Amino acid sequence: MASNVPKVLFKNGTSVPMLGLGTWNSPPGQVAQAVKDAIDVGYRHIDCAHVYENEHEVGEGIAAKIAEGCVKREDLFVTSKLWNTFHRPDLVQGALQVTLRNLNLKYLDLYLIHWPVAYREGGELFPWRPDGKRVHFSDVDYVDTWPAMEGLVKTGLVRSIGLSNFNRNQVERILNIARIPPVTNQIECHPYLHQADLTEYCRQHDVTITAYSPLGSPARPWVKDNDPVLMDDPVVQSVAKRHSKSAAQVLIRYQIQLGHIVIPKSVTKERIVANLDVFGGGFELRAADMQLLRDLERTGRICPDSFSFGHPHHPFEAEFRKKKR
């Protein structure tokens, strides 16, 4: 099936589908089928990460569709991310090679530094301290990691490089030293958390925003019973009813109209199909709809990375200290 997903151009001229399939927190044993279903219905952008521990399943799904002749490798845009325990420059290429083996690919379209915080190097993804609440840190500075990321582009193993979960000052530090500038900053973005200052700064410097958790991540492992559910918000529901669309479709369309790439996660075929059905058919949020959703801002961060509090490069800790005052 041909994809009808519009594309954006990164600063380096790379063309990227605005809607992709997210794979974070996807249950084991279901990811390969989700990838196959997504490709069948027109997705051409798959977002992965080493820490999700399911890249081998993503690779199975991609390989199956290529073998069937449904797509060619060059039809797909595949993203992955450098995990926090591999920030040391001499570890970067090895980390990428593990991801490429798991995905059964020869190159990535996009590789991101997953977080600006570095963890103690070693075999554990999360090198927990004895209290089990925080991790051991590494003193590697992400500005020293970036040249190693640039080296991956020069080898042809990666087509584009970028950032994830970097705050404004951190993006600026990278831009100040980069020979190959980051093409995107993948951040949490939804009507409860717009990060407007950050997104505007990135826009001014041609760093495209990729929005994760656009639906409010209702199935996140640490959700509490009394946490607000974005898709149940009366404003979101009223906009959805007005357009005869689901809340999820409204929230995805919202990001598209903000000019963001958006990567909703699902392993359910019906939802994978529905999440794609936000283009054409006259579906467009009106200016008043956009304003209603914008007004839902509550700085409601879903992914605070609290077990990295205390790290000198934590991107949000100052924000949480300010809230407590």
pLDDT along the chain (325 residues), means of 10: 83 97 90 97 97 97 98 98 98 98 98 98 95 94 98 98 98 98 98 97 98 90 85 97 97 98 95 95 96 96 92 91 65
What is the C-alpha to C-alpha distance for residues 188 and 276, in angstroms, rounded to an integer?
20
> In the annotation, is 254 catalytic?
no
Q: Give just the sign of the alpha carbon dihedral 248, 251, 256, 261.
A: negative
Structure tokens at 155: 């080898």
| Residue of 43, 52, 192, 254 marked active site | 52
Q: What is the pLDDT of residue 324?
A: 59
Q: In terms of CATH, what superfamily is 15-322? A: NADP-dependent oxidoreductase domain (3.20.20.100)
Amino acid 321: pLDDT? 72
| For the chain, domain boundaries | 15-322
- The pLDDT value given to residue 115: 98
Pairing of strands 21-22, 77-82: unpaired
At residue 3, the pLDDT reads: 66
Confirm whether residue 114 is marked as ligand binding: yes
What is the C-alpha to C-alpha distance for residues 186 and 164, in angstroms, rounded to an integer? Answer: 4
Burial code of 176-197, b = ≥16 C-beta within 10 A, e = fewer?
Answer: eeeebbbbbbbbbbbbbbbbee
DSSP codes, 189-237:
-BTTB--HHHHHHHHHTT-EEEEESTT--TT-TT--TTS--GGG-HHHH
Strands (E), the chain: 7-9, 15-17, 21-22, 45-47, 77-82, 108-113, 158-164, 184-188, 208-212, 261-262
Residue 154 backbone dihedrals phi, psi, to 5 degrees:
-65, -30
Pairing of strands 15-17, 7-9: antiparallel
